[in-house]
Amino acid sequence: MAEKYFIKTNFDLCTGCCLCQLACSMRLLGGYNPHRALLRIEHAGENLYHFPTVCNQCANPYCANVCPVQAIRRDPATGAMVVDHEQCVACNLCHRYCPIGVVGVDVELKKSVKCDLCDGAPRCVAACPTGALELAVGGEVNHG
């Protein structure tokens, strides 16, 4: 058993600056495109409220359970659910069954993508100037 890490969101601290999305897309794509980041920020109330949404790294992940080729597995080091792009067939079932819609096929990569916690050092957390995102430990996960 290992500890499971996840990104905790403190929506009341989010200013909607989107620096987290820029940092995420830079790591994923090598360029800045917040629309292709692996987290979303919903702006509400005439842009007064901002709700960051990122993968919960579920204990019983629907994305992995429905993957027909078992391309989504838990990383033993971080506890994050990661996509094996060699195995992924881009069927998009992971997106269809993710309750918060933060996994799915990237239009250019043509493979499913989701937050993998940047190998334990999430760029979005580091980029957030207000503490709206933080790396947290959420108990133990059985990898067997």
Spell 68-79 as b/e; 16+ CB within 10 A means b. eeebbbbbeebb
With contact defined as beta carbons under 8 Å apart, do 58 and 99 qualify? no
Give residue limits of the domains in the chain.
2-141
CA 98 to each of CA 29, 46, 82, 102, 104: distance values in angstroms, whole numbers, following the listed order = 23, 27, 14, 7, 9
CB 40 within 8 A of CB 9: no
Better pLDDT: 29 or 39:
39
Structure tokens that stand for 80 in this block: 């994050």
Cβ-contact 32, 25 below 8 angstroms: yes
**Per-residue DSSP letter, 130:** S
| β-pair partners for 49 | 44
Q: Is 89 helix (H, G, I), strand (E, B) or coil?
A: coil
For 87-143, what is each residue's pLDDT tens digit? 999 999 999 999 999 999 998 899 999 999 999 999 999 999 999 999 998 755 444
* The CATH number of the domain covering residues in 2-141: 3.30.70.20
| pLDDT one-digit tens code per residue, 74-87 | 999 999 999 999 99
